[in-house]
Homo-oligomer: A and B are copies of this chain.
Amino acid sequence: VLDPYARLLGLTVTVPLPGSATASLVIAPEHANTHGTCHGAVLFALADAALQAASNSHGPQALATTVSIHYLKPAAVGETVVATAVEEHLGGRLALYRIGVRRDADLLAVADGQVAIRR
């Protein structure tokens, strides 16, 4: 079930396996920045959606505490961008995910997301 903000953006999210997830988006004109390329905050929202889906795939509720993103390359309107979150560490109270944001094989951004687990 997508949350309201994911629906506003038009994201698609899948959870192939517990602890991992992908989020994808076709970049629309309303996702652009002043340069006409995909806004950095949209790439972040995509990474964040993958993080949220991956970290909540185990059952107990997980809430993001810290997320950092490095921007590497721009995406254009009309392109499809996919974020993939992989679990790097699952502890009792904290877990860490690595998220790659790609257009085909091209790495556009990488992010780290830490979540707190409510047990």
Q: Interface on A for B, CB 8 Å cutoff?
A: 1, 3-5, 7-8, 29-34, 39-42, 44-45, 48-49, 52, 63-72, 88-89, 91, 93-94, 96, 98, 107, 110, 112, 114, 116
Contact = CB atoms under 8 A, between A and B. Distances in A.
Contacts of A41: 5, 41, 44-45, 48-49
Given A5-B30, A33-B5, A68 B112 contact: yes
Number of copies of chain A assembled together: 4
A44 to B, nearest CB: 5
Contacts of A8: 8, 30-31
A44 B42 CA distance: 10
A67 B69 contact: yes
Given A45-B45, A89-B72, A65 B94 contact: yes
12 contacts: A1-B34, A4-B29, A5-B42, A7-B30, A8-B8, A40-B48, A41-B41, A41-B44, A44-B48, A66-B70, A67-B69, A88-B110
